[in-house]
Structure 1
Amino acid sequence: MIKLASAVTPPLLVGATLASSVSVAQSVFWETVDQLWYVCQPDGTPEDMDRVTVSRLTVDGVLVDRMHIGRSGHGTGLCVERTAAGTYLWAGSMPNGGWATALARIPYAENGTADASDPSVVRTPRTGVYRVSAAIDPTRNHLVFRWQSNNVPSPSAVGGIDAYDLGLAATGMFSRVRSTNFEASGKTLQGFTSLGDRLYFLYGDQNIDNFLVTSVDWASGAVLQSQPVTAFPGIAYREPEGICVYEDTLAFGIAGRPDGVRQLNVARFPHPGTNPWVEISYDNVAYPPNSNNYKPQYRIDGDRVHLHFSVDKRDGTAWAQGEVLFTLPPRVRPNRTQRLVGVVGGGAVNGDTMAVRFEVAADGRVTIWDERSLIGWVGADVSFWVC
């Protein structure tokens, strides 16, 4: 279970500009294979013809491309299924009064269009329900479907949440693997997701200090924890919009609207605990490690990222100022340059200090900085930064 402590800084996205200028974001999803954000906005078309715009953003919030989806609904609960055959969006379908009553599974088309109510893409886990939305639990490979039995705003809504095998759901086969009901919350729902044995709900209203994330036990439906969120204070419009699984924790969106521009800000909750060491891709021909135990690796421990490596230069030349040893993956990059102290081989410094400085840049580059034209191995064994 994610411990819902106060959301940490640095944020994941700040002021990312979205493709549509019509409305703010309604849902957000992190796709871990291609390392892209997917953000869904309603596009201001008449009810029951509701078109949404899906923006794809880089890990740093740069707009890559977009897709327009007609007859979709309000844009809540967008999620992404990554397969060997391509990328598929799970979006709202068959809108009634501007809100979806079914789901659609749509191949993502760069700068393309689709009709979410075309029978070939419609997926119907339940009939006779209202204001539906979906999430994907990557730890269980489940499609999670929220539905209401009454067609009313979320504070008064009653209904249920069902989980299905994602692979079978993609083919239109829906056999529930678990289910829970919900009663009226009295709060404005702005998104939900599932991770393991817990459901997480995002609540709150525009420019009102009632932003809350609640953890619910799947088996019993009991509320386990509610955490007020104070991220991004003072931004214009400030409305919570969308929650999703981000790596092994949770990320949530906060819409902004400075001077009418539609922007999205994203923060995350702390990582839940210490993770295993993960090898980092690097040029092992140019920079051979001292042994297999000293290949470049990182480990997340709470909000700390630990770095461990010891490498040499195969060509025997001196380490250059600012030479890049390797590049860290996006999930462990700091938000500003971090300076780390490492060690060098004793023979390389001829009695001088064996300390050497490394820098970890916001784009993930790990570089060496030393004026002594060092020759020999260099390494970092206990260095860390706060992510």
Structure 2
Amino acid sequence: MIKLASAVTPPLLTGATLASPVSVAQSVFWETVDQLWYVCQPDGTPEDMDRVTVTRLSADGALVDKMYLGRSGHGTGLCVERTTAGTFLWTGAVPNGGWATALARIPYAANGTADASDPAVVRTPRSGVFRVSASIDPTRHQLIFRWQENNVSSPTATGGIDAYDLGMAATGMFQRVRSTTFQASGKTLQGFTSLGDYIYHLYGDQSVDNFQVTCADWASGTVLQTQAVTAFPGIANREPEGICVYEDTLAFGIAGKPDGVRQLNVARFPHPGTNPWVEVPGLSPAYYPNSVNYTPQYRIAGDQVHLHFALSKTDGTAWNQGEVLFTLPPRVRPNRTQRLLGVVSGAAVTADTMAVRFEVAPDGKVTIWDERSLVGWVGADVSFWVC
């Protein structure tokens, strides 16, 4: 289960401009193979009110290309299937009153167009349902299908969520592997996804401070966690839009409309098992950090220990071979000596490498090993070991 908490900073995307100037984003998906964001917007064109624009963004938010999908619906629940045959979009199809009643599986064509309600691409997990959307659980290779039994707005809707094997669903074969129901939430749904044994929903309204993410158990439907979302305060027309699996955690979108431009902002929750940075206790007065940001500190992230520091010697003398910089507490000590690569002040070397070696011993002592009698600060920014 993802432990819902305040969003991690810095955010994944800030103010990314989308391809369509007509409406804000409705859904977002992270495709991990090509490292691209896919974002869906209702197009709102007078000649085809059910057309959507799919924007592809690079990992840092640069516009890559786009695709238009006619007869798709409102643009909720976009997800992406990456195969050896190419990239396929799962999106809405056969709209009724602007909202999809079926799904479509469409090959992505950069700057191309497609008809999402073409029978050749339509997939119908259930008939007689309303306002459907889909997600993909990459950990189980499952297509997750959310449907309403009544054609009403989400606060008063009832319905269910089904899971299907993604490979079979691609061929049009839908045999449910698990299913759950939901009752009226009283909240505006802005996206959902599944990860392992849990379902996550994003709720909220534009420019209203009521955004939240919930975590529910697949087996019982019981809500286990609720987390208020406070990321990106002050954005014009701030509205939550879309949630998806991002690596081994969750990312969510918040749309903005400053001066009429349609932008997307994306943040994520902490990775499972990632703990806050903790200052190493008992630093000797013989050393001082470059700044408060470089005081020796560690954090536990899954099965890794991360180490971060930059130190100078108080008396300005050279670093000695095997000199102990500080000692880590027992809970983060390795079970064997670990060698770490660090950096040294550029002023300390001339026409030579700025790399320096540290060792972390099972007794927690962090030592420096370099025969050059270095003078200046030494540090490690991204060093880690497995605990």
TM-score normalized by structure 2?
Answer: 0.76
Residue 61 of structure 1 corresponds to which residue in structure 2? 61
Residue 18 of structure 1 corresponds to which residue in structure 2? 18
Offset from partner CA, 1:65-89 (integer Å, 9 cap, x none): 0000000000000000000111000
How far apart, CA to CA, are the structure 2 residues paired with 1:380 and 1:20?
51
How far apart, CA to CA, are the structure 2 residues paired with 1:91 and 1:55?
13
* Counterpart contact for 1:203–1:211, Cα < 8 Å: yes
How far apart, CA to CA, are the structure 1 residues paired with 2:343 and 2:71?
50
Residue 346 of structure 2 corresponds to which residue in structure 1? 370
Offset from partner CA, 1:170-220 (integer Å, 9 cap, x none): 000000000000000000000000000000000000000100000000000
* Counterpart contact for 1:48–1:94, Cα < 8 Å: no
Residue 119 of structure 1 corresponds to which residue in structure 2? 119
CA drift of 1:380 comes to: 5.7
CA distance change for structure 1 residues 377 and 155 in 2, over 3 Å: closer, same or farther? closer
SS of equivalent to 1:167: helix
How far apart, CA to CA, are the structure 2 residues paired with 1:124 and 1:109?
23
How far apart, CA to CA, are the structure 2 residues paired with 1:7 and 1:149?
33
Residue 85 of structure 2 corresponds to which residue in structure 1? 85
CA distance change for structure 1 residues 74 and 305 in 2, over 3 Å: closer, same or farther? farther
How far apart, CA to CA, are the structure 1 residues paired with 2:105 and 2:151?
23
Residue 156 of structure 1 corresponds to which residue in structure 2? 156
Residue 207 of structure 2 corresponds to which residue in structure 1? 207
CA distance change for structure 1 residues 351 and 31 in 2, over 3 Å: closer, same or farther? same
Residue 316 of structure 1 corresponds to which residue in structure 2? none
* Counterpart contact for 2:253–2:266, Cα < 8 Å: yes
The percentage of aligned residue pairs carrying the same residue is: 76
* Counterpart contact for 2:131–2:148, Cα < 8 Å: yes
Residue 363 of structure 1 corresponds to which residue in structure 2? none
How far apart, CA to CA, are the structure 2 residues paired with 1:243 and 1:99?
19
How far apart, CA to CA, are the structure 2 residues paired with 1:22 and 1:83?
31
CA distance change for structure 1 residues 70 and 226 in 2, over 3 Å: closer, same or farther? same
1:301 aligned partner, one-letter code: A
CA drift of 1:379 comes to: 3.6
1:26 aligned partner, one-letter code: Q
Residue 172 of structure 1 corresponds to which residue in structure 2? 172
2:253 aligned partner, one-letter code: G
Residue 97 of structure 1 corresponds to which residue in structure 2? 97
1:258 aligned partner, one-letter code: P
CA drift of 1:48 comes to: 7.3
SS of equivalent to 2:100: coil
Residue 7 of structure 2 corresponds to which residue in structure 1? 7
- Structure 1 unaligned segments of length 5 or more: list them: 276-298, 308-338, 344-349, 356-365
- Structure 2 unaligned segments of length 5 or more: list them: 276-298, 324-341, 361-379
How many residue pairs get aligned? The number is 315
- Give me the CA root mean square deviation: 2.6
Residue 267 of structure 1 corresponds to which residue in structure 2? 267
Residue 194 of structure 1 corresponds to which residue in structure 2? 194
CA drift of 1:166 comes to: 0.2
* Counterpart contact for 1:47–1:97, Cα < 8 Å: no
1:25 aligned partner, one-letter code: A
* Counterpart contact for 1:47–1:96, Cα < 8 Å: no
1:94 aligned partner, one-letter code: V
2:187 aligned partner, one-letter code: K
Residue 218 of structure 1 corresponds to which residue in structure 2? 218
CA distance change for structure 1 residues 130 and 46 in 2, over 3 Å: closer, same or farther? farther
SS of equivalent to 1:168: helix
Q: Where does structure 1 differ by over 4 angstroms across 4 or more consecutive aligned residues?
A: 46-49, 339-343, 350-355, 366-369
* Counterpart contact for 1:244–1:251, Cα < 8 Å: yes
How far apart, CA to CA, are the structure 2 residues paired with 1:126 and 1:157?
17
CA drift of 1:8 comes to: 1.7
CA drift of 1:7 comes to: 1.2
Q: What is the correspondence of 1:200-349 to structure 2 with a 5 Å cutoff?
A: 200-273=200-273, 301=301, 306=306, 341=310
CA drift of 1:241 comes to: 0.2
1:103 aligned partner, one-letter code: L
